[in-house]
Structure formats: structure tokens, C-alpha cells
Structure 1
Amino acid sequence: MLRLDGVASITSKALKLTDGAPQKVGRAFYGRRLDSISSFSTTFVFVITSQYSDLSSHGLAFTLSATTDSLLDALPSQFLGMFNDENVGNTTNQLFAVELDTIINSEFRDLDDNHVGIDVNNLVSISSHTAGYYTSNDTFSPLRLASGEPMQVWVDYDANSHQVNVSLAPYLERKPERPLLSSIVNLTSVLPRSVYVGFASATGLLRCIHQIIGWSFNPNGAATPLDYSVLSEVIKDVRREAQSHPDTSRHILLPITIMSVFIVLVMLVALYIYMKKARKSGEWEIDCGSPSFTYKDLVRATSGFSDRMLLGKGGFGKVYKGMLQTSSQNVAIKRISPDSKQGMKEFIAEITILGHLRHRNLVQLLGYCRHKNELLIVYDYMPNGSLDRVLHGQGNQTIDWVHRFNIIKGIASGLLYLHEDWEKVVIHRDIKASNVLLDNKMTGRLGDFGLARLHNHGTDAHTTHLAGTWGYIAPELARLGRATKATDVFAFGVFMLEVACGRHPIEVNNYGEPMLLTDWVIDAWESGSVLKTVDPKLEDYVKEEAELVLKLGLLCSHSVHSARPCMRLVMQYLVKDVLLPDFKASFLSLTIKDEDFDQHILSCNSVATTMTGLSGGR
């Protein structure tokens, strides 16, 4: 049973979301809430019929929503019957949608009048693509959504990997092997446990009919295949109905159409002029999957960037604590000064990469703002500050072993997500204690993605610019300037030693000479006293865990990149699913040119396993 509102109706065994009238909204939802949605799957066949072959309005969307009440205030046209001008972009919407958009809307979307997008609480899609499908030989074939021809959509969500795949194809074509869209969305952080599922649609100035011909949905598994023999008969009825009701109002709508075309042309000309000026003045927009804040919002949140709200400062500028007036949410606001060492490239890198990542051990980006020459980034507020302040701060403040070990495992989990489990490979390039922030439960979250770079799985990174912090920089990175997964693993190894020992990566010894933390721990191990390197402020710690962290930290920071484990293997060592290889301290001092290097690898099966498990870290 469906719940219909707006102009939605059921005719000819089809669900007609809009009836052709301009500026109308139509919605249809399954009659009751669905509980315990996990890995869901849905497929549906739709037909969008427009009065004119080259003009349409506005589109439809498959929707999961916490409530249907808030949708009653939704508007037509660009709001697609899901939002209005006041709530669009609010996290309180608790709404996920896959939109089929058929008209230009420069306010909320890219200038693509025929696209498919994944929306989360917003009309700014976190991922979008021109409508079409990939054929069996992996070539892209575009489709016109408002062609009047039936098409089929598939939406699949994996609750374990948080991956959403969206596919589109002409009616009666097989589901493409390669999805049109694939994105990571943690729906448990967007939606409540029980939701409504259905469709929303809207028209603008032009007559357009949006219909759902068939729909299958499974909240916990694969959707049941559609019965095409039944659907084909419905499609025939829909077409006969369209032919038997010719449009008598064409002469009335023609002036409106001409006016619409004129308005669109004016918009395009204005946009061209704006973009031309923008390139000269440095204005920009960024596809980061996060809403932007106004400068006024952030001024209010920080009491005018008051010194009493200051959390810290560095070469990039200052960080303030703030409270958003609309949600009473505490946030951290990085205010990058015009003469900052962190320039526009780093600013854009941080928000475009971090804006799409969702992991409990990564700092959550909430949005950004640019005001004149100022750049501002808004994050979740981390009440316990950065890890390095706790480890190396003055006074008696410290952090116990349980929390330290959990922080190490958490950051390892976050790096595994970046290297292997997200849709692209992210190389962080600046892993260190000062970039790990602690929330109210002392959970470690990796932040500062200003130096991060991403590339596709199965390919190599193209960055050849030396970046990072001395003490965490791998030898091959210092020589070649080429960042890889293995250089991140090296920095993580040093980070593990720093957390366990409570010492900086580079310190001055008793003779006034610089001493690497890795060398100091190796020397202690060779003398049979590796546990003496554990932070003396730790009164109680688990010796087996501390020894594991120290030895694994040294293995990760091996001078030979091929000897370092991949992050998946590191995670398995830390949770004790796999035993750490039995190697000696002398192995850590070998170079790839040493004759004994290969013998050490071959003489120990577990170390060989470490090497073969590198998974593209070279």
C-alpha cells in the first residue's frame, strides 16, 4: 500500500508522480516505516514524458527519509519535492536520495541538465554523472532521461563497506557490470533505524509527467527481479493514454516555453561572465559533499573570532572553537590567513578529499567558507585537543596505555580505509601526533588533509613533491619526493613509537646530537631492553601489547619500503588476528643492497608474507 500526496496518483497500473501540470509536487511512499534497513537493494522502471523533446522539468528521486511530515513543506521546481529554501542542506533533514534530474539548476547543482546524483540532506549531490550507462566493452552511452522512453535504475547499498552503487540502463537491457555512480555514504550516520522509502518528484514551468512503471525493494538483501512481461503491458497502456490525450494547451504554454528558453540563455550568459570573472579573481566552488557556511555564520559562532575562543595557531593561521547558532553544535573553525604557508591548493585538497570521507577515526569536515582573502574550514569539535599536546605537554597530564593502544588501532583503521577501503586511494602524507585529534571519549581521529593526494586503485600516485614533517619522512621519499602507501606506513610506524615511548621522532641526545627515535628503540632492543623505551609516565601497561607496538612500529618504519607491511596486515597484527613476524633487531638495519636482506626475507615465512601482502605499497 502506498501513501500518496501532492498530485501523485495511480493510473493504468502505473504510479504517476506528476500529472503534467506546472509547478507541482508529487510523492509516493510505502505505507509504513521500514525497520532495520541494512544492506538494501532496489530497482525501478520510470518514464519521464515532456511536452518538448529538448526541454523538461524537473525530475524525480528515489528517497529514504526519516519522516514524511517534513516533506509536506517541500517545494516544486529545483527542490524536487524534497526540500524548501529554508531546510535544504540541513543535517536534521535525515534524507538520502538518488535523483534523476532533467533541467539546469545553477543554484544547487552542476550545469548538467540531464544527470543522476546521490544526495544526502541536500540538493548538492555528493556524487553525480551525466545520465547514461557503460556498455559491455566499457564505453559510456548517454541517455536522455526525459525522452519518453522507459529506463531502469538499480540502487545497491552495502552496510559493511557503506558503498552505494547506482546503475541506469534502457528498459529490457541487463544491469550494467560497471555502475554509473559509486560512492561511500555511511547511512547509519544520516538516517535513523526506521525510515520511509519511496519517490518524490516535481515540475517547474513546463508540462512534464513523471511515472514509475515498476518497483522492487528489499531492505535487507537483493531486490526481487521485475516481471517484464507485466511491465511491458503497462508501458503500452501508458503510451496509448498519452496518445489519446493530445495536449490542448500547447498554444498557451508556448509563450511560457519561449520565456523559459530566454531565461535559460540569460542565465548561461550571466554564468559565463561570472565564471570569467571568477577565474580572474580566484573565486571558486568545490565539490566536497559538504555544505558551505556563510562568513556571518562563523563570525557569530566564534563571538567575532574572539581570543577567548582561540584553540591554537600555527603556520596556516588560527583555530577557533565555535557554536553554530542554528544547531547549537560545537565546531572547530580553521581560519587560514592570506599569508599562510597553507595556500589555495592545500585548502582545496583538504575539503575536496575530506568532504567525501566517512570514518570514525577521521576528523569530520562539516563545511567551508571563503570571505574575501580569508579561507575557513569547519570541523567537528574535538574537546580533548591534539594527541601531541597530551603526549608532550608540560605538567603531569598524561594518557594511559589503554587509550594509547586504542588510538594506535583507531588511526590504523582510518589509514586502512584511506589506502584500501575507500573508492580511491588517499595518501595522507603528513601522519603525526599533532594531526591526531581526540574526541570526548579519547578516540583518535586523523585530520589535516591539506597535503593529501588521491589516485585510483591499481595506479600509482603522481606526486613528486616532497611533503611531510622531518622525522616521519621515509628515506625514499626524501630521495625521490614520491609519496606512496609505503611512505604513509613509514610515518605511521614512527607515530606508533612516539605514542608508546612518549618521545618526539627526533630529539637531542646527551652529547647535543640529533637522535632518531627509531635508532634509539633499535639500540634498546639489541641490548635486550626494548621495554625500557616505553614512556616512563606510564605506571601500568600491558607488556605484550607494548612490545607488539614497538616491534611493529620499527617494522613499519624499516628503511627498505618493500619490507614494510600494508595497512591491512598492520591492522591484523594489532587486533592479533595474525602473529607479528619473528624477526631480529638486526633485520631493521639491513638495506636492499645487503646480501643478507633476501636471505632474511626467505628464512622467515611470516616476513615473506608481510612482503607479499604489501598490496601496492611500493
Structure 2
Amino acid sequence: MVVGVGVVFLSVLAVFFIVRRRKRPQSDDDDELLGIDVRPYTFNYAELRTATEGFIPANKLGEGGFGPVYKGTLCDGRVIAVKQLSVASHQGKSQFVAEIATISAVQHRNLVKLYGCCYEGAQRILVYEYLENNSLDQALFGKESLDLDWSTRYDICLGVARGLAYLHEESRLRIIHRDVKASNILLDGNLIPKISDFGLAKLYDDKKTHISTRVAGTIGYLAPEYAIRGHLTEKTDVFAFGVVALEVVIGRPNSDSSLEEEKMYLLDWAWHLYENNHQLELVDSTLSKFNEEEVKRLIGVALLCTQTLPSSRPSMSRVVAMLCGDIEVSTVNSKPGYLTEWTFDDVTSFVSDDDTAEESSDYTSHYISSASLSNQDTTPPISGAQALLH
């Protein structure tokens, strides 16, 4: 009897140590999650697999820089966007944890909401709210555009400005997005804009240098000081917002090689019309009516945002004030930044995932440096991560 009890006890003890040993490799993952100030809800992988019907191709929304995104429906009826990080992605555990922490720390009407994550075994998944009207670039110049009227377009720009102002100035963490572009702005059922893709977001401290060792972002939206020298501040996002605002006004990408030369590059064309007081000619020809005062205000703000010197660009909170009509839009006396620094080579866009690059389908252009950059050590960077649902 005693021998039997002893054998059972030793067997249970052996099983305990075997199970403990097998679980030990995952303890680091748990410790890292416990270190996050605001820990998001953790989904079970089986739950997400069921929600997406096994991640079938029919539910695939798109392919981002770090992996595919799928549409899913939870058992409580919520429709979700599931960002499944690719095994081939260079984004490691620490980067994934940092992304979770960043997104979880910010909440705003004009930012995509994070429902939670899955951190099970080798799985690295983020679960976002699903936004049924896709991205702004698709709404404006995609194959199935939404025919946005002027009032909606203006409200979208104002919403994006408010979201960026929150990230830069109001959030507990000061955040630079680094990849603001039309495909990273998603629209909900009421066409309210929400800024997505914080995978490239960087936190910074006023006491630390703003020089970035790796440029990440999308060519066509990159501020010159960042593209050339890697100098990163919130004014990098301000520049990109200016480009997006012009795209919203005209309803086309920031470059289009199919157009005549003077209209090919949006910043150049916008400046030409502004200089000659013909700003209204920039308005999308599909718009039958629009508010002339708002058009001029938005174009003026966009040209201020895309000035060469970061110090000449307004803060996003000032942009909001100008768009709301609370303060006057300053007169723009100089050309947007890229006109003297860069020329276009073609209309190819690339995506960079750390040290690798792959072709993407953005409506952006590849730049080559002009003679003014011949003495620079840095080469023109390739674009950063894709939109969350692009």
C-alpha cells in the first residue's frame, strides 16, 4: 500500500516537472507582456482562427508590410481586422510588444482602435476594429471610389489633423507616426477618418536626439530633412499631412506619370496654381459644388505644411485651428520642400521591412536625388510599412 502511494506520488511529481519544463520557454513572453503598462485583451488563437474561418483567402483584406490582414467575426458579433504577422517578418518579439504598448496607450476618435492581441506560441497577431469603408486612397482614387463630396473631404482632413495633434501633443506618450499617407487613413461606416498602422511609430524624449538611424516611411510623403538626413520630429508627420490634404482636394495621387508634365507632380502643380491665384482649378473635377473659402484654406494649410524648413511648418494643433477658422492661414511665400531637392524617376513604390524590400502597390513615386544632393552620404530611402488594411 505504502509502495503504491509512493509510486503515484513520484509519477505526479515527474509529470509536474515535465510540464513545467515544457512551459518554461514561453515564460519570457509572459514576463514581457507583464511589463507593459496597459496590457490589451489577449485573444486565443483558436478563437481568431474560428472568427476568420481558418484565415481563408476570401476573408483576406490585404497584405501589409508585416503580413496579411483578415476580416473576422467574433462570437459576440463584433467584426474585426486581424493583422497576422508573417513568419518571414523581421519584426521580433520586443518590437511586437512595443507596438502593443504604443497602441494600447492611445485612444482617440480619429485613431484605429485596438481590441487586443494574440501572443500564443509562434503566433503574433493584432486585432483591430474593422472599418468597412477601407482606406482613404481607395475612397479617393481606387477602382471603387466612394465619390466623396466636398464637405466630407474637408471633415476627413480635419479629423486626420485632430488625430495627429493628439499623437503629437495630447497623448501621454508623444508619438511620431512616420508613415502618414492616404492608405494609412481608414474610414468607418460614417466616413470618420481613423489613422492606422502604428508599427512605425516612434516615441521620443525632448532630451534625446531626434536623429533616426533608419529612415522608414513612404516615398512621396517624406519630409526632405527626414529623407536626406534622417532628422525625425513631429514636423515629419506635418509634411505628410500636407501631401494628403492636397490629394483630398484634387482626388488623385501625389504623382501621376500619365498626366502632362506640369500636372504630373501634385506639389509642383498646386504651387503653380497658388502662385497665380488659381487655386480653385486644383479641385477634383468630379465635384459639382464646393466651398471656395474652405478650398483656399485647405490648400494654403497644405502648402504651409510642406515647406522645406521644419520650423516653417505649423504644429498640428495650429493646423486644426486654421481648418476650424479660429485663426487665419498665413500667406505662403515659398515653394513646398521637395521641388528643389528631388526629381521623379518613375512611379514605382517599394516597402521596407527592416533590411529587406519588396514591391508594393502604393500610388507613390521613387525619387532620385538632384545635383543639389550630389555630396550627400545618404541615398534615397525606400518606403516604409504598408497600411494596416492596404
Q: Same fold (TM over 0.5)?
A: yes
Q: 1:479 maps to what in 2? A: 228
In structure 2, what is the equivalent of residue 314 of structure 1?
Answer: 64
Q: Decide whether aligned partners of structure 1 residues 384 and 483 sit closer, same or farther in structure 2, where only a CA change above 3 A counts.
A: same
Hey, what's the Cα distance between the residues in 2 that align with 1:419 and 1:309? 34
Alpha-carbon separation, structure 2, partners of 1:513 and 1:385: 31
Equivalent residue for 1:516, pick from 256, 265, 269 = 265
Superposition CA RMSD, Å: 3.0
Deviation, 1:494, is: 0.8
User: In 2, are the aligned partners of 1:426 and 1:453 still within 8 Å (CA)?
Assistant: yes
* Distance in 1 of aligned mates of 2:139 and 2:327: 31
Distance 1:341 1:502 in 2: 35
TM-score, reference length from structure 2: 0.74
Matched with 2:324 is 575
Q: Tell me how far apart the structure 1 counterparts of residues 162 and 120 of structure 2 sit (CA, whole Å).
A: 36
Q: 1:355 to 1:422 in 2, by over 3 A?
A: same
Give the equivalent residue in structure 1 for 2:5: none
Q: How does 1:462-541 map to 2 (within 5 A)?
A: 463-508=212-257, 510=259, 515-541=264-290
User: SS of the residue aligned with 1:508?
Assistant: coil
Task: Give the Cα–Cα distance (whole angstroms) in 2 for the partners of residues 543 and 311 of structure 1.
Answer: 37
Structure 1 position 468, deviation (Å): 0.4
- Give the alignment partner of residue 362 of structure 1, picking from 111, 126, 140: 111
Matching residue's letter, 1:406: D
- For residues 115 and 208 of structure 2, the distance between their equivalents in structure 1, rounded to whole angstroms, comes to 30
User: Per the alignment, in what secondary structure is the counterpart of residue 374 of structure 1?
Assistant: coil
Maintained 8 Å contact 2:138/2:145: no
Deviations 1:150-177 (A, max 9, x none): xxxxxxxxxxxxxxxxxxxxxxxxxxxx
Encode CA deviations 1:575-604: one digit per residue, 9 max, x unaligned: 1110111334x4657999xxxxxxxxxxxx
Cα distance change, pair 494–587 in 1 and its aligned pair in 2 (3 A): closer
More strand by share: 1
Structure 2: how far apart are the matches of 1:352 and 1:508? Answer: 41
Cα 1:479–1:297 shift into 2, 3 Å: same
2:143 & 2:183 partners in 1: Cα distance? 15
Shift of 1:455: 2.4
Compute the displacement of 1:282 (Å).
11
Given that 1:465 and 1:482 are in contact with CA atoms closer than 8 Å, whether structure 2 keeps it comes out as no
What's the secondary structure of 1:385's corresponding residue?
A: coil
TM-aligned CA distance change 1:482 to 1:396, over 3 Å: closer
Amino acid at match of 1:538: L
Cα distance, 1:513–1:406 mapped onto 2, change above 3 Å: closer
Provide closer, same or farther for how the CA distance between residues 498 and 510 of structure 1 changes in structure 2, counting only shifts above 3 A: closer
| Distance across 2 between alignment mates of 1:360 and 1:580 | 25
* Aligned mate of 1:377, from 119, 126, 129: 126
Q: Describe the shift of the 1:459–1:589 C-alpha distance in structure 2 as closer, same or farther (beyond 3 A).
A: closer
Shift of 1:412: 0.7
Aligned to 1:285: 33
With normalisation by structure 1, the TM-score equals 0.48
Q: Does 1:301 align with 2:51?
A: yes
For the Cα contact (< 8 Å) 2:262–2:269, is it kept in 1?
Answer: no
Question: C-alpha distance in 1, partners of 2:287/2:277?
Answer: 20
Alignment partners' CA distance in 1, 2:335 and 2:145: 37
Q: CA deviation at 1:383?
A: 1.2
More helix by share: 2
Deviation at 1:343, TM superposition (A): 5.3
1:386 CA drift (Å) = 1.0
Give 1:324 shift. 1.3
For CA contacts below 8 A with separation 6 or more, give which structure has more relative contact order: 2
- What is the CA deviation profile of residues 227-279 of structure 1, one whole-angstrom value per residue up to 9, with x for unaligned ones? xxxxxxxxxxxxxxxxxxxxxxxxxxxxxxxxxxxxxxx99xx79x936x656
Q: Structure 2 unaligned segments of length 5 or more: list them.
A: 1-15, 341-390
Residue deviations 1:539-594 (CA, integer Å, cap 9, x gap): 2211111111111101101111110011111111011110111334x4657999xx
Task: Output the CA distance in 2 between the equivalents of 1:574 and 1:323.
Answer: 37
Tell me the SS of whatever aligns to 1:479: helix
Change (3 A) 1:587 1:471: closer
Judging changes above 3 Å, is the alpha-carbon distance between structure 1 residues 541 and 506 closer, same or farther for their aligned structure 2 residues?
same
Q: Which amino acid aligns with 1:323?
A: T
**1:321-376 deviations in Å (ceiling 9; x for gaps):** 11111x22111111121113655565334321011111000001111113443321
The equivalences for 1:65-104 within 5 A come to: none
Matches within 5 A, 1:194-593: 274=24, 284-285=32-33, 287=36, 288-325=38-75, 327-340=76-89, 344=93, 346-395=95-144, 397-456=146-205, 460-461=209-210, 463-508=212-257, 510=259, 515-584=264-333, 586=334, 588=336
Paired with 1:398 and 1:535, the residues of 2 have a C-alpha distance of: 10
CA change 1:591–1:507 in 2 (3 A) is closer
CA distance in 1, matches of 2:73, 2:338: 53
- Assess if the C-alpha contact under 8 Å between 2:33 and 2:39 holds in 1: no
Q: CA deviation at 1:301?
A: 1.0
The alignment partner of 2:186 has SS state of strand
C-alpha distance in structure 2 between counterparts of 1:283 and 1:309, whole Å? 33
C-alpha distance in 2, partners of 1:449/1:589? Answer: 25
Secondary structure of the 1:524 match is helix
Match of 1:469, SS? coil
Match of residue 386 from structure 2? none
Q: How far is the alpha carbon of 1:450 from its aligned partner?
A: 0.3
Deviates more, 1:539-548 or 1:346-355: 346-355
Asked whether the 8 Å contact 1:464–1:483 carries over to 2, the reply is no
* 1:506 partner SS: coil
The letter for the 2-side match of 1:394 is: K
Residues 464 and 480 of structure 1 are in contact (CA less than 8 Å); yes or no, is this contact kept in structure 2? no
Tell me if structure 2 keeps the 8 A contact 1:349–1:453.
Answer: no
Is the 1:342–1:450 contact (alpha carbons within 8 Å) kept by the matching residues of 2?
no
Query: CA 1:486–1:344 in structure 2 vs 1: closer, same or farther (change >3 Å)?
Result: same
Relative to 1, partners in 2 of residues 1:308 and 1:509: Cα closer, same or farther, differing over 3 Å? Answer: closer
Shift of 1:320: 1.3
Structure 1 residue 458 displacement after superposition? 6.2
Among the aligned pairs, what percent are the same residue?
38
Determine if contact 1:301/1:324 at 8 Å carries over to the other structure: yes
Deviation at 1:507?
Answer: 2.4
* Structure 1: gaps spanning 5 or more residues: 1-265, 593-618
Distance in 2 separating the partners of 1:296 and 1:324: 11
Say which one has the larger Rg: 1
Give the C-alpha shift of residue 462 in structure 1: 5.5
1:385-441 CA-partner distances (Å, limit 9, x unpaired)? 111111111256321111111111111111111111112210110101111111111
CA separation in 2, counterparts of 1:483 and 1:559?
Answer: 14
Paired with 2:264 and 2:217, the residues of 1 have a C-alpha distance of: 19
